[in-house]
């Protein structure tokens, strides 16, 4: 068992380091917006998840659980219910799939296909300035 103590100075230092990092990132983003530099190609652009999602510290594990386990499962159930069973509860009940992994796999493939289509659409609509 490790002995842990509450050290307010250490917490302040950690918070200060994080604040400096985010200030530096914000300055870089502002400089990029001011210079209006566009990447040369679609695949050469840099994407940071923190630019799109602001998460409190310690919630990444919960988000990953939801993203990789729960969302594909729900998407698989919705796909089978709406497209296979035609939104009919009796038909959905007659399908008789009792395995979680089958629903999850179908949902995962549906979500992967949707994300691939979004990437292709984004690549096609990417405009390069010459």
What pLDDT shows up at residue 37?
Answer: 60
What pLDDT shows up at residue 30?
Answer: 76
Contact 102, 75 (CB under 8 A): no
CA 87 to chain CA centroid, nearest Å? 28
What pLDDT shows up at residue 55?
Answer: 73
What pLDDT shows up at residue 38?
Answer: 67
Q: Which two tokens stand for residue 2?
A: 């490790």
Sorted by where each begins, the domain ranges of the chain are 8-38+58-125
User: How far apart are alpha carbons 20 and 94 in whole angstroms?
Assistant: 58
What pLDDT shows up at residue 120?
Answer: 92
- Whether this prediction's pTM lies above 0.75 is answered by no
State the Cα angle at 72 between 69 and 76, rounded to 5°. Answer: 135
What pLDDT shows up at residue 1?
Answer: 46
pLDDT along the chain (130 residues), means of 10: 62 79 80 66 73 72 84 93 89 83 93 94 77
What pLDDT shows up at residue 3?
Answer: 57
How far are the Cα atoms of 33, 37, 108 from residue 77, in angstroms, in the given order?
A: 42, 44, 11
Q: Which two tokens stand for residue 27?
A: 């300055």
Per 3-state DSSP, what percentage of the chain is helix, strand, and coil (rounded to 5)? Answer: 70, 0, 30
Contact 32, 57 (CB under 8 A): no
What is the torsion angle, in degrees rounded to the nearest 10, for the CA atoms of residue 48, residue 50, residue 52 and residue 57?
160
Q: Which two tokens stand for residue 110?
A: 């549906």
């Amino acid at each position: 068992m490790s002995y842990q103590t509450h050290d307010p100075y250490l917490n302040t230092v950690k918070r200060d380091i994080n604040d400096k990092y985010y200030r530096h990132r914000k300055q870089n983003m502002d400089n990029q917006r001011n210079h209006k530099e566009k990447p040369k190609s679609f695949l050469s652009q840099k994407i940071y998840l923190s630019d799109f999602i602001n998460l409190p510290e310690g919630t990444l594990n919960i988000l990953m659980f939801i993203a990789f386990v729960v969302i594909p499962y729900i998407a698989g159930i919705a796909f089978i219910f709406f497209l296979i069973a035609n939104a009919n509860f009796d038909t959905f009940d007659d399908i008789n799939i009792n395995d979680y992994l089958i629903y999850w796999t179908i949902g995962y493939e549906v979500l992967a296909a949707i994300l691939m289509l979004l990437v292709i659409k984004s690549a096609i609509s990417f405009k390069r300035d010459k």
